[in-house]
Amino acid sequence: MNDVFLVLAQAPGGLTCFLLPRVLPGGERNRVTLVRLKDKLGNRSNASSELELHDAVGWRLGDEGAGVRTIIEMVAATRLDCVLGSASLMRRGVAEATWHAAHRSAFGRTLVDQPAMTAVLADLAVESEAATMLALRLAAAVEHADDPAEAALRRIALPAAKFWVCKRTPTHVAEALEVLGGNGYVEESGMPLLFRESPLNSIWEGSGNVNALDLLRALMRTPESLDAWRDEVDAAGDERLLAPTDEVLKAIAGLGDPDAAAAQARWLASRVAVLLQASLLVRHSDPAVADAFVATRVTGEPTGVLGMLPATTDVRAVVERASVTC
Ligand SMILES: Cc1cc2nc3c(=O)[nH]c(=O)nc-3n(C[C@H](O)[C@H](O)[C@H](O)COP(=O)(O)OP(=O)(O)OC[C@H]3O[C@@H](n4cnc5c(N)ncnc54)[C@H](O)[C@@H]3O)c2cc1C
């Protein structure tokens, strides 16, 4: 469906990146043959195909033999897209869920006023805002790649955010879908489309493990990225983040042989991302959101299920902040 494609192909000097146009400068189609469209779980409007190239025209991009190094620049950009896309799916889920809960009455009250539901909506909102903040902070780091501190932060925050935000999305979307009850399971609600889309960003451009392992690579090859992460977390000046930050630093210092380190990769990526989210929320969000996040994701035991916020959480404030009004 695209006008141009980046492809890798073997040139005499090794694997090389090429820019392949769909339509040639003279107006005729390039020799790209679609063998079949893939029958995908979702994401159908963004067609994927098996294709063959017979005498197709492609222009070299970057040096011959430097294909992977060249195309990886695109991968970094599209990994950011994955984080932004997943954060957007969550936000859409929150918008649909809070709207439905504000208008549907059950057992004598609107759903949003049923305490068990208010807690679910608040937790959905907290997760969504944390994802949005991290995605936008990452986007700023990508935009300021000429600043060494921002480049170092991007190196560690990109795989961590790609791993964590994309991983959280299917759970989040499923819970938002459930807020609509049976209607959420029906296509007209729009929620099944979000649900089918929700696992994709985690697979795209390197699946969960691949990104978690990339975080280990960042720690090994660019140690300054860890300093940049620590500075970003410390910028919150919040005592609640100190011990969890030390725990991560100790774990990194004690990483063993490559296999032992790889077994820790998911835990590390999740903690690196969650502490960044906590710092951002403390600095830029409503205290009700930041406190709920810290209590359930940083200092408290994660339950894996949304809607279990501490009784002290100002759930109404959190839900009102996230609700769509018109
Ligand atoms: C809708 C869609 C569109 C796509 N579009 C494109 C496209 O335009 N261009 C393109 O080039 N590709 C495209 N892809 C491919 C996509 O980038 C890959 O599917 C994705 O990066 C995962 O790679 P893989 O399929 O080779 O899985 P594998 O690399 O085989 O991974 C399989 C599983 O093993 C895990 N794994 C891999 N390595 C390790 C390891 N060392 N340790 C532990 N676990 C590991 C992964 O996390 C994953 O869970 C698309 C995929 C989808 C679903």
Report pLDDT digits (tens) over 230-263: 999 999 999 999 999 999 999 999 998 999 999 9
Looking at residue 258, what is its pLDDT?
93
- 78 in ligand 1 pocket by Cβ < 6 Å? no
The alpha helices in 198-293, defined as continuous H runs, are 200-203, 208-221, 224-234, 242-253, 258-263, 265-284, 287-293
Dist CA 161 CA 295 (whole Å)? 20
| Count of C-beta atoms within a 10 Å radius of residue 260 | 10
Looking at residue 22, what is its pLDDT?
94
- Rounded distance from Cα 195 to ligand 1 centre (Å): 20
- 205 in ligand 1 pocket by Cβ < 6 Å? yes
pTM (2 d.p.)? 0.95
| Count of C-beta atoms within a 10 Å radius of residue 50 | 10
Rounded CA Rg of the chain: 22
- pLDDT tens for 26-62 read 999 999 999 999 999 999 999 999 999 999 999 999 9
Looking at residue 260, what is its pLDDT?
94
- 48 in ligand 1 pocket by Cβ < 6 Å? yes
Q: Domain 71-322 falls in which CATH fold?
A: Butyryl-CoA Dehydrogenase, subunit A; domain 3 (1.20.140)
The pLDDT of residue 77 is above 80 = yes
- 43 in ligand 1 pocket by Cβ < 6 Å? yes
Q: For the chain, what are the domain ranges?
A: 4-65, 71-322
The continuous run of DSSP H or E covering 64 comes out as none
- Rounded distance from Cα 26 to ligand 1 centre (Å): 35
Domain pair 4-65 / 71-322, same fold: no
Phi-psi region of 27 (alpha: psi -120 to 50; beta: other; left: phi over 0): left
For range 190-197, the mean pLDDT: 97
**CA–CA distances in Å: residue 315 to residues 129, 158, 289, 308, 309:** 14, 30, 9, 11, 8
- Rounded distance from Cα 210 to ligand 1 centre (Å): 9
Ligand 1 atom having least distance to the Cα of 210 = 47
Looking at residue 169, what is its pLDDT?
98
Averaged pLDDT score across all residues of the chain: 96
- Rounded distance from Cα 147 to ligand 1 centre (Å): 31
Q: Domain 4-65 falls in which CATH fold?
A: Butyryl-CoA Dehydrogenase, subunit A; domain 2 (2.40.110)
pLDDT bucket at 326, cuts 50 / 70 / 90: low
- 204 in ligand 1 pocket by Cβ < 6 Å? yes
Lowest mean pLDDT segment, chosen from 64-78, 110-124, 203-217, 271-285 = 64-78
| Residue 279 three-state SS | helix
- 75 in ligand 1 pocket by Cβ < 6 Å? no
Confirm if 169 and 83 have CB atoms less than 8 A apart: no
- Rounded distance from Cα 9 to ligand 1 centre (Å): 18
For range 125-152, the mean pLDDT: 97
For range 110-133, the mean pLDDT: 97
The pLDDT of residue 283 is above 90 = yes
